[in-house]
Structure 1
Amino acid sequence: MKSVVFIAAFCVYIITAFPALAPYRDSGEMTSVAATLGVAHPPGYPLYILAANIAGRIIPLGNYAYRITVLSALFMAGAAAVFFALIRKTFRLKNHVAAAMAAGFAFSYFYWYLAVVQEMYTMSIFLILCAVYLLLDGSSAAAFFVLGISAGARTDAALVYPSFILYAYFKRLPVKELAAAHAAMAAGLSVFLYSWVRAKSGPAINWGDTSTMARLFDSLMRRSHGGTLDLISSGFAAGENFFVQMRYYAAHILRDFTPAGAAASVVGAAYLFRRRRSLFWFAATGFGVTGVMFMYLANMPPNTHALAILEAHFLLPDLFFCLFAAAGAGFAYSEISARAGRGAVLANAGIWLVPVWIFASALPGVNKRHNFFLVDYARNMSVSARQAVIVIKEDVQVFSMWHRRYAERKQRDDLNVVAAGLAGSAWYKKMNAGWPVALTPLKSPDDWKRFVDGNRRVFFSNDAEFPLTDVETTPAGLLAAAGRASADPTAASLLDEIYFYRGDYRYENHREFFTPDIIEDYAKALHRRGFYLMTSGERKSAERWFLAALYMKEIFPPAAYHLGWCRFAENDFKGAHRYYKYAAAVYDRYAALADEYRAAPDVRAAVRREAAGAWLHLGVTAEKLGRDDEALENYSRAATLSENFSLAYYNKAVIYWKKGDFASARSNLARTLEIDPSNAEAKRYLGILDGGTQSGSRK
């Protein structure tokens, strides 16, 4: 039966797998490092890199990324088979009951999703499950060895260690046997010496240059990441986001395992506490450390990017949750099937109901069979410039270009892709020493100025946040040319004639974070092209690009805002009002999300200023349409969003003047001048009021 579980899971994973490089976190880095047998970002993932390198060589079908995906599918199918064997033996379940539990485990959203990408998570889960099976089977030395070597796939295997020690205590493992187990674990951990040995040979990718023991230790401790899950959390007090994360995790359990699965886990925990106390504490400690404690330490804010990073770390607490759920479901099955009459029929039907529901719910979100977004993105980026230095910021986008260069070997020699976040690192400069590029940090405007002045034809991607407002930029598809780097003659045709588009390019139609993030880059490129045309006086042409941007991402307020600007310039005030109203509503949504996501104060303020601008223009348009009361409401909303927005107060003053409410007009004019003393019109009108003459009108 284990073979059936393995084959069934593997076939489903392969059918739904990404056909090429997956737009997911570090997939492009993993394939690139595997292809070059290099050193990955801290802590290095040496076991996975070695296994992926072998898979890339021996799997006889598909492109390089697909072969690594097959490896992920093999490990997750293996994990499903081991889970089946574990719960069948531990809880004495019948084959079909254990198979149903294994199906719910294997086809839950995150396990399934990570089985179809080029990442190390499924290897880690497979090895940890093997270690758990060996531990519960009494093979302590083998269990600790597998646990140790599994850290070479993911170091969060260390979070399972307390459970192993506690179980050994309950089983009164002799000191000699426990010492032998730890010696075996140390032998497993020796796999990290790969990073030290390999770094000395100067591989193509040598993250952190772990060629000394000191730098190897820094890599293991993730010093470059602040010793945390991600630097995103560094701006928050310890535990500040804990309860938000726990609520998100609870919602994940109810959505991806169903309320019935959650209830089964509670029943299972109670059953094990009463009947098998050592097993209860093993699983409870595992869940507490890998779930509760980890999320307290991770402290990730509740924005979509941070949660996408956090989600991959649900796999370990989910594993212990599934153990509890299997115990509870097995107990419920035995109780119901023992009843007279239709008890056995109900039990047999019910035991498969939840796994089928889990499968059906997850399938639409994890079927990536036709997802070519990232491989097409990398290809499209590559045709956007010639003889150029391309600066990209976000990991997925950067690593897609690494994959094209190192794994596919398709990158042209005249293009040099610079990772903005790594450009100042000593190891990154050493790794790219042969480039005709003067690498500098890219943090401040001065850094960027030196970089642009010191290099040939600099282009940057939409995510790179180019800070030099005094440097002319020219759109070039997904890129923009900076300064003296003029775009190629074909730049105007890139987005609509030269680029590949395979798949559903609608931001809102995808559940996970990273595919929509790629689509958003295209929406930004379309908007940039439209803005360039608009500022060149070609408003009619610009509108087409703005509408295309809104098609790709409905909640993209800059495109709607500039459509309103174009319509206003054409004296189509009704059309302008429609677009400004939409932009203002979406900006309000962005402002609310910035608060909900606990964004940095400067980010929240910037979003509110943009929202205030949209409400101000909506008010001006309402005035043009003779809707003064609406205009006053819009100006008031703008002033609420941005307290120092002088134009909002000035325009309110004019409306009050027209209404004859001179006291309100005076207070708003005074507030205008308090914020902007240089406003000559406000001074003039305030002087008229102070002089006792209430005549005149705004120019």
Structure 2
Amino acid sequence: MIHKDFIQLNRFVAVVTLGLSFLIYLLTMADTVPYWDSGEFIATSFILGVPHPPGSPLYLIIGRIFSMIPFNPDIAFRINLISPVVSSLAVMYLYLGSVKLISNYRGKIQTQIDALITFGGALVGSLTFAFTDSHWFNAVEAEVYGFSTFFTAIVVWLILHWAERANEKGNERYILIIAYMIGLATGVHLLNLLALPFVALIIYFKKYKFSFKGFLITTLITGLVYLIINVGIINGTPKLVNAIGLSMTILLALAIVGAMVYTVSIKKIQYALALTSVVFILIGYSSYAMIFIRSGQSPAIN
């Protein structure tokens, strides 16, 4: 937690982290089409085509929007700019998450020394990450990894933010936002699923006293959630449509929504939270409809 006298300073340092990393990324960004997958993502974003599996539809939609912003005559430059934007946002959320972790370890930030240690440590850590080879390389060209890192960073920050408010009324909304972010992230890259164990363990250690049995149950539930998302939703939905048809799949989705509404109405909080999270993941995942719609239009890259 942060004393009210240092909240504005924390926000200022976060903006400095964002601005500095974005400036460096912008200055070192590729001016036009780089090698490897970047050219494919630039071309498919511009024409809303279908790249290599799984398709990264959300990235293509954002790329198409960036391609229409007339700030540079080179389309590749416009789409490349996505990576500096989202990668610098990832660095900022890494800073904010680090502040929460350090303050949880050291205690509430109440003095200038506390602020210097916490904000300074988080700043050094986040900027060190910002200019590591892997992240910097992905931050200067049209690639999905910087975007995926942004989603991972915001999920980590959200669950740490939830942990500070876990006993407050309405804390469940942060879990639902996380579910939606994970659903959206599948439209960029599946790396975001790696954040699930972190989220699960934060919830476990915040809500329950540690025991080997409890830890094992949490691990098994986390594995089950991963299977539901990856096997059931991401891979299973297209197979389900092929097996029973689009109409029946829509009816099944409506049944899940109906079950969600029912559990909310009878105030079964845990069931309602689980079903609502599934619905939010499905809403985020729905960007994949774009792949099937555009593929049916036979774009030049399909």
What TM-score do the two structures reach when normalised by structure 2?
0.64
Residues 400-436 of structure 1, C-alpha deviations (whole Å, 9 max, x = no match): xxxxxxxxxxxxxxxxxxxxxxxxxxxxxxxxxxxxx
Q: Which position in structure 2 is the counterpart of 1:134?
A: 158
The alpha-carbon deviation at position 184 of structure 1 amounts to: 1.4
The alpha-carbon deviation at position 88 of structure 1 amounts to: 0.9
- Counterpart residue type for residue 284 of structure 2: G
The alpha-carbon deviation at position 199 of structure 1 amounts to: 1.5
Matched, 1:113 2:137: yes
Matched, 1:13 2:25: yes
Following the alignment from structure 2 to structure 1, what is the Cα–Cα distance between the partners of residues 301 and 75?
17
What TM-score do the two structures reach when normalised by structure 1?
0.28
The alpha-carbon deviation at position 59 of structure 1 amounts to: 5.0
The alpha-carbon deviation at position 174 of structure 1 amounts to: 3.6
Matched, 1:180 2:263: no
Q: Which position in structure 1 is the counterpart of 2:198?
A: 163
Q: Say if 1:43 and 1:155, in contact at 8 Å, map to a contact too.
A: no
Q: Which has the higher contact order (CA 8 A, sep 6+)?
A: 2
Matched, 1:65 2:79: no
For residue 35 of structure 1, give the secondary structure of its aligned residue in structure 2: helix
- Counterpart residue type for residue 104 of structure 1: T
Q: Say if 2:100 and 2:160, in contact at 8 Å, map to a contact too.
A: no
56-65 or 79-88, larger mean C-alpha shift: 56-65
Q: Which position in structure 1 is the counterpart of 2:300?
A: 204
Following the alignment from structure 1 to structure 2, what is the Cα–Cα distance between the partners of residues 131 and 193?
24
- Residues 103, 183 of structure 1: alpha-carbon distance in 2 compared, 3 angstrom cutoff: same
For residue 141 of structure 2, give the secondary structure of its aligned residue in structure 1: coil
1:666-685 aligned at under 5 Å gives the runs: none
Residues 617-641 of structure 1, C-alpha deviations (whole Å, 9 max, x = no match): xxxxxxxxxxxxxxxxxxxxxxxxx
- Residues 137, 174 of structure 1: alpha-carbon distance in 2 compared, 3 angstrom cutoff: farther
1:608-623 aligned at under 5 Å gives the runs: none
Following the alignment from structure 2 to structure 1, what is the Cα–Cα distance between the partners of residues 67 and 81?
10
- Counterpart residue type for residue 160 of structure 2: L
1:137-536 aligned at under 5 Å gives the runs: 137-138=161-162, 139-172=174-207, 174-206=270-302
- Residues 169, 197 of structure 1: alpha-carbon distance in 2 compared, 3 angstrom cutoff: farther
The alpha-carbon deviation at position 197 of structure 1 amounts to: 1.7
For residue 118 of structure 1, give the secondary structure of its aligned residue in structure 2: coil
Q: Which position in structure 1 is the counterpart of 2:16?
A: 4
The alpha-carbon deviation at position 62 of structure 1 amounts to: 4.8
The alpha-carbon deviation at position 4 of structure 1 amounts to: 0.9
Q: Which position in structure 2 is the counterpart of 1:32?
A: 43
The alpha-carbon deviation at position 100 of structure 1 amounts to: 1.1
Q: Say if 1:14 and 1:70, in contact at 8 Å, map to a contact too.
A: yes
Q: Which position in structure 2 is the counterpart of 1:78?
A: 89
Following the alignment from structure 1 to structure 2, what is the Cα–Cα distance between the partners of residues 89 and 113?
27
Following the alignment from structure 2 to structure 1, what is the Cα–Cα distance between the partners of residues 119 and 38?
36
Matched, 1:94 2:115: no
Following the alignment from structure 1 to structure 2, what is the Cα–Cα distance between the partners of residues 109 and 203?
35
Following the alignment from structure 1 to structure 2, what is the Cα–Cα distance between the partners of residues 43 and 189?
12
- Residues 35, 177 of structure 1: alpha-carbon distance in 2 compared, 3 angstrom cutoff: same
- Counterpart residue type for residue 145 of structure 1: Y
The alpha-carbon deviation at position 159 of structure 1 amounts to: 3.1
Following the alignment from structure 1 to structure 2, what is the Cα–Cα distance between the partners of residues 39 and 4?
37
- Counterpart residue type for residue 80 of structure 1: V
Following the alignment from structure 1 to structure 2, what is the Cα–Cα distance between the partners of residues 118 and 61?
15
Following the alignment from structure 1 to structure 2, what is the Cα–Cα distance between the partners of residues 94 and 36?
46
Q: Which position in structure 1 is the counterpart of 2:215?
A: none
The alpha-carbon deviation at position 69 of structure 1 amounts to: 1.7
Following the alignment from structure 2 to structure 1, what is the Cα–Cα distance between the partners of residues 271 and 297?
41
Following the alignment from structure 1 to structure 2, what is the Cα–Cα distance between the partners of residues 200 and 29?
19
**Where does structure 1 lack aligned partners over 5 or more consecutive residues?**
207-699
- Residues 96, 171 of structure 1: alpha-carbon distance in 2 compared, 3 angstrom cutoff: closer
- Counterpart residue type for residue 202 of structure 1: S
Following the alignment from structure 1 to structure 2, what is the Cα–Cα distance between the partners of residues 136 and 59?
38
Q: Which position in structure 2 is the counterpart of 1:342?
A: none
Residues 231-254 of structure 1, C-alpha deviations (whole Å, 9 max, x = no match): xxxxxxxxxxxxxxxxxxxxxxxx
Q: Say if 1:141 and 1:182, in contact at 8 Å, map to a contact too.
A: no
- Residues 162, 88 of structure 1: alpha-carbon distance in 2 compared, 3 angstrom cutoff: closer
Following the alignment from structure 1 to structure 2, what is the Cα–Cα distance between the partners of residues 106 and 62?
28
Following the alignment from structure 2 to structure 1, what is the Cα–Cα distance between the partners of residues 184 and 89?
17
Q: Say if 1:37 and 1:203, in contact at 8 Å, map to a contact too.
A: yes
Q: Say if 2:156 and 2:195, in contact at 8 Å, map to a contact too.
A: no
Q: Say if 1:39 and 1:198, in contact at 8 Å, map to a contact too.
A: yes
- Counterpart residue type for residue 119 of structure 1: E
The alpha-carbon deviation at position 65 of structure 1 amounts to: 1.3
Question: Runs in 1 of length 4+ with deviation above 6 angstroms?
Answer: none
Following the alignment from structure 1 to structure 2, what is the Cα–Cα distance between the partners of residues 62 and 14?
16
The alpha-carbon deviation at position 82 of structure 1 amounts to: 0.8
42-51 or 183-192, larger mean C-alpha shift: 183-192
1:685-696 aligned at under 5 Å gives the runs: none
The alpha-carbon deviation at position 168 of structure 1 amounts to: 3.4
